[in-house]
Structure 1
């Protein structure tokens, strides 16, 4: 057994290196690969990572945990436990980098949304003072914090390079795909084509956003109980297994040391996760 383990360790290491050093695949026309999506998404939050490095990160995340579990399983686990954990770790590792990037993007967008009201209010004041739209953006830029400051800088840089302000704002809508930003961009583009008072339009958008936020906070307070109920329901099976272990360790360990026990745990965990997300979806109301 020891000889087998000694032989399999370098084999697993070589497989791991081959998986990591694979060149990134080119996506089909109109469809991005995971590495291309990760590279573009990170660039939106001003983190420049080459596509090749993104592909290596994805490969390590996908193949590193299964190989590690395989080596640990040779020493401590049964063969079927090793296989199950390898499959589970592969799918978790495959989703983990994208989930992390999406969470970073979500936090950045939420912060931008929080700064949008102040930005629009200051833009309206600058326009009322007689400044043009690019000048108003430059004035607001001086008082803004990150990440809004970075977005305004990108808009102004594109405008200085000769791109119309409307197109620069449309790129902002692509980087920050929210309804409030879409309303802002649509208003600027429409008024630029038809003519109109941008300051009044910004004031109207501010009032609209304030009203939506008031309604959103009210709904959030009303649905908070449902979210907590979903969390409690999701954690209750874990508490139950813990109590079962202290009351009757033999039955609890039979769930971990037998194939039927792992099947039961797998079904229970799957249903538990589905139930949590279902309750969360029911309790979430979009405004």
Structure 2
């Protein structure tokens, strides 16, 4: 008797999530045209990804409600580092939508065990996964983009040094990098050139790039440019030394990554093996696995999940070698 109200609740939540997502994806064409024209002629690029063309009323209200909060600023920074053109309000709407859809899917999948409480538990797990999945996708995309930037930085510094020897100014050199290099380093240097063109001091524009790309190698480059700007000197020669240092560091990191690849893969296999085995047992005999989700036996899977998460992060810390 308890199942029907729970099914209705799950359907209601799924419908609310669909409406929320549709509302978050609606665009205002008038604002979109204005923003495109402003971006075309002004080329304004800031740390937070401005996407007013796709912003709707609900997303704007959410964005205003969380503006200035520490978690909102961190979220805005992560979106910028991942190069995702979403506001904080739009991203929060997306996360709430995936949370509700995940709960509905988990509840529908879990109620087949003839235990409504187990359906709620599975729905809660799917809801947590739906809430965390967009966040970890942004972090993964930001890490991948950062790694691509670092891999390109050594050769880019060599190009900058050769351009300076050829008689180019520093700003012309950066414009050359923006035109001749490939993303993501071309996009970042293009932002620097645009900001300088809009009146931002060069050192401040470089600091903005360093905030978008938090790299020790880039910090070394920005510091060298700042010191050269203050005291003068042969910047091309300094860039040659920095480029060689960065290339050697990238090579050493690659060797370490190869040597620790087996341990990293072992961490993923050991962590995911119990989950895969539980799914197989669930598909073969749902009642057998469902007996674990009754009190007090439910403490066993909860403790197992906590232990798996702790073990996974411990193994990740062991193989994370700083250079």
Q: In which range does the TM-score fall when normalised by the shorter chain?
A: 0.7 to 0.9
What TM-score, normalized to structure 1?
Answer: 0.82
Residues 229/11 of structure 1: CA separation in 2 closer, same or farther (3 Å cut): closer
- Whether 1:138 aligns to 2:172 is no
Alignment match of 1:200 (pick from 234, 237, 241): 237
TM-score for both structures, normalised by structure 2: 0.74
Post-superposition offset of 1:28: 6.8
Residue 26, structure 1, aligned to residue 62, structure 2: no
**Pair 1:286-2:322 in alignment:** yes
Structure 1 partner of 2:311: 275
The answer for the alignment partner of 1:254 in structure 2 is 288
Which piece of structure 1 moves more, 91-100 or 122-131?
Answer: 91-100
- For the 8 Å contact 2:14–2:100, the answer to whether it is kept is no
Q: Does 1:190 align with 2:218?
A: no
**Alignment correspondent of 1:102:** 139
Larger CA deviation: 121-130 vs 55-64:
55-64
- Quote the Cα distance in structure 2 between the aligned partners of 1:9 and 1:214: 52
> Which ranges in structure 2 are unaligned for 5 or more consecutive residues?
24-57
String of CA shifts for 1:127-159, please: whole Å, max 9, x gaps: 111211011112233321111111111111111
Number of aligned residues: 280
* 8 Å contact from structure 2 (residues 148, 184) kept in 1: yes
What is the match of residue 98 of structure 2? 61
* TM-aligned CA deviation for residue 116 of structure 1: 0.7
Q: Which has the higher contact order (CA 8 A, sep 6+)?
A: 2
Q: Distance in 1 between matches of 2:269 and 2:110?
A: 33
Q: Is the 8 A contact 1:38 1:101 kept in 2?
A: no
Per the TM alignment, residue 265 of structure 1 is displaced from its structure 2 partner at its CA by: 2.7
Q: In the alignment, does 2:141 pair up with 1:113?
A: no
Residue-by-residue CA offset, 1:250-275 (whole Å, 9 max, x unaligned): 7x953333425543233223322321
Q: CA deviation at 1:95?
A: 1.5
The 8 Å contact of residues 124 and 200 in structure 1, kept in 2 or not, is answered as yes
User: In the superposition, relative to structure 1, how do residues 205 and 263 fare at CA in structure 2: closer, same or farther (>3 Å)?
Assistant: same
Q: Bigger shift: 128-137 or 83-92?
A: 83-92
Task: Compute the displacement of 1:121 (Å).
Answer: 0.4
Contact 1:187 1:201 (C-alpha < 8 Å) held by counterparts: yes
Q: CA RMSD in A?
A: 3.2
Aligned to 1:220: 257
- Range with greater deviation from structure 2 (13-22 or 91-100): 13-22
CA distance, structure 2, for counterparts of residue 17 and residue 139 of structure 1: 46
In 2, Cα distance between equivalents of 1:191 and 1:29: 36
Q: CA deviation at 1:44?
A: 4.2
User: Counterpart of 2:211 in 1: which secondary structure?
Assistant: helix
* Structure 1, unpaired ranges of 5+: none
Segment of structure 1 superposing worse, 163-172 or 222-231: 222-231
